[in-house]
Amino acid sequence: MNIHDIELPPLSNINVGGKDCKQVWFTASEVDELRIAAIKQVVLQSPEIQRLREERDTLYNELSDLIRGYVNLLESGRDRIRDFGGDCDPVDAMESNDPWLRSARKAINAMEKQT
C-alpha cells in the first residue's frame, strides 16, 4: 500500500459571506485524523501484523481448548470420587481455587479485550 491508495473523505460545502463554497482544505485536526487513519491502514495490513494476529488467534483457541479440557478433567475426577462414595468440592469451587486456571482465564480475558 502506498499513499495514493488512501481514500480521502469528501470535502464539505461551507458558507463564506453568504455564499456556498466547496471546502478546499482540511483543518489541522482533520489532517491529524487522516494521518492516524493512514498509519493504521498501513500497519494493520502489514504481513507481520497479520502473522502476529494469526498466531494470537491460534494461541487463544488452544488456550481455550486447554481450559475446557482441564475443567472436563475436574468434572471427571469429581464424578469418580462420588462414584466411589467420597465427598468432593463442586467443580466451580475447584476452578476458582486453582491458581493456574485463574491465570489462564485472565490471559483469555486480556486477549478478548484486544480484539
**End-to-end alpha-carbon separation of the chain, Å?**
23
At 51-78, the pLDDT tens digits run 988 999 999 999 999 999 999 999 999 9
Instruction: Please give the tally of structural domains in the chain.
Output: 2
Q: Parallel, antiparallel, or unpaired for β 13-16 and 19-22?
A: antiparallel
pLDDT of residue 82: 95
Q: Are residues 54 and 39 in the same domain?
A: no
Beta carbons within 8 Å of 26's beta carbon, 6+ residues apart: 11, 34
Confidence (pLDDT) at 25? 67
All 3 cell numbers of residue 83?
A: 462414584
How many Cβ atoms from other residues are within 10 Å of residue 10's Cβ?
8
Q: Judge if 13 and 55 occupy the same domain.
A: no
Q: Which domain holds residue 17?
A: 3-44
**DSSP for residue 28:** H
Same domain, 58 and 82: yes
**Residues 97, 75: one domain?**
yes
Task: Identify whether residues 57 and 110 lie together within a single domain.
Answer: yes
Model pTM score: 0.60
DSSP letter, residue 9: P
22 and 60 in a single domain? The answer is no
In sequence order, what are the residues at sequence separation of 6 or more whose Cβ sits closer than 8 angstroms to the Cβ of residue 15?
A: 21
Q: How many CB atoms are closer than 10 A to CB 74?
A: 20
* pLDDT tens per residue across span 9-42: 666 777 777 777 776 667 788 778 888 888 887 7
What nine digits make up the cell of 99?
491458581
Same domain, 27 and 58: no
- 69 and 20 share one domain: no
Same domain for 93 and 53, yes or no, is yes
Same domain for 64 and 91? yes
Say yes or no: 25 and 61 in one domain.
Answer: no
